[in-house]
Amino acid sequence: MSTTKTFLNNLLDRYGYISSITRSPELSTLVTTNNAPLPFQTAQLKSLVAGLRPKTTQLQDEIDHLKWATETLEVHASHLSEITRDYETALSPIRHLPAEILIEIFRWTCVDCNAYNPYHLCGFNVFEINQGPWLLSHVCGSWRNIVTTVCSDLWSRFVLEIPDKTVKEDEYGRDVLRVRPSMKYDMIALFERALKRSRGRCLDFSFRYFRFHEGWEHRGEDEDEEDEENEDDVMSSCLDMLVRRSKR
């Protein structure tokens, strides 16, 4: 650090004389007016420019080197910061929490955050893997082990409902319909896995699917017959699985 500071001080001292360079009083009127210089003034101006230009170039070279050095050091600092953050993450206090405390915390995730929806009980949508115990089980190995083997109550409270489709804009600003996130996965297999992890606990669930209602023929603009048939099959299979576990 002291070597760098000494280098920078020497660099500034080397060019300290530049602040004493001023405009020639004899030529100052030419700078503030549009008058053409006399022949002898032209010669003086050219001589001054010839003397100043190399100094300007030299200073710019020094600046460019300092910028390059600064950018390089910033890259090194960023690299070290990333490594430091990784090490600090490994030292995170939450990693040292006893399993009993983690279990209690995980159970509080079942608190209903959608009280405005009378059909949504305290639980997660089985078909959305970005919420509930699905999400917790993908944080790290220890969390996954706790969620999948100990917290069976997390899996026993759920909602069965086909998620809404999401829409986003393409690069031209046009709305593009995206497939439902859960349709990328085997929805029936997801439900079977959730039931298996509930380990025989009493089931508390909400089943919502309007197409099972008599006379229901609504089809959105973005729906097609094949999609609806697939959804019918999925929800029908899930309902059958629940009926077979009616004692729970």
DSSP 77-128: HHHHHHHHHHHHHHT-GGGGS-HHHHHHHHHHTTS-S-TT-TT--SSEETT-
Q: Are 55 and 116 found together in one domain?
A: no
Q: Are residues 71 and 102 in the same domain?
A: no
**Average per-residue pLDDT in the chain?**
80
Percent of the chain, pLDDT > 70? Answer: 77
> What integer pLDDT is reported at residue 72 of this predicted model?
94
* Confidence bin at 15 (pLDDT 50/70/90): confident
Q: Are residues 107 and 78 in the same domain?
A: no
> Are 185 and 110 within one domain?
yes
Cα 212 to Cα 208: distance, rounded to the nearest angstrom = 9
Which of 40, 66, 90 marks a domain boundary? 90
Residues 179 and 64 in one domain: no
pLDDT band at 170 (very low <50, low <70, confident <90, very high): low
- Do 169 and 175 contact (CB within 8 A), yes or no? yes
What does R_g of the chain's alpha carbons equal in angstroms?
Answer: 36
Structure confidence at residue 235 (pLDDT): 85
- CB atoms under 10 Å from CB of 242, counted, come to 16
25 pLDDT more than 80: no
Residue 242 CB contacts under 8 Å (≥ 6 apart), including other chains: 160, 203, 205, 207
Which pLDDT score is estimated for 120?
45
Considering the domain architecture, whether residues 70 and 175 belong to the same structural domain is answered as no
Kindly tell me if the per-residue pLDDT of 164 is higher than 80.
no
Please list, residue by residue across 19-55, b when 16 or more beta carbons sit within 10 angstroms of its beta carbon and e when fewer do: eeeeeeeeeeebeeeeeeeeeebeebeeeeeeeeeee
The span from the CA of 222 to the CA of 178, in Å, is: 10
Last residue of a domain, one of 65, 90, 115: 90
Between CA 192 and CA 199, with CA 193 as vertex, the angle to 5 degrees is 95
Q: How many domains does the chain have?
A: 2
Q: Let me know whether 58 and 82 are in one domain.
A: yes
pLDDT of the residue at 49: 86
Identify which has the larger pLDDT, 77 or 207.
Answer: 77
Q: How far apart are CA 228 and CA 180, in angstroms?
A: 12
- How far is it, in rounded angstroms, from Cα 114 to Cα 122? 8
Co-location of 142 and 71 in the same domain: no
Looking at the structure, do residues 73 and 131 belong to the same domain, yes or no? Answer: no
The percent helix, strand, coil of the chain (3-state, each to 5) is 60, 5, 35
Instruction: Looking at the structure, tell me whether residues 82 and 167 fall in a common domain.
Output: no
The b/e string for 178-209 (b: 16+ C-beta within 10 A; e otherwise) is: eebebbeeebbebbeebbebbeeeebebbeeb
Structure tokens at 57: 């170039």
List, for residues 57-114, the tens digit of each pLDDT value.
999 999 999 999 999 999 999 999 999 999 998 888 888 889 999 999 888 877 655 5
Element (H, E) at 225: helix 225-244
Is the domain of 76 the same as that of 110?
Answer: no
Provide the residue range defining the domain that includes 78: 2-90
Look at residue 41 in the predicted model and tell me its pLDDT: 84
Q: How confident is the model at residue 24 (pLDDT cuts 50, 70, 90)?
A: confident
Q: How confident is the model at residue 167 (pLDDT cuts 50, 70, 90)?
A: low
Is residue 131 located within the same domain as residue 194?
A: yes
**At which of 90, 112, 131 does a domain end?**
90
Indicate the pTM of the whole model.
Answer: 0.53
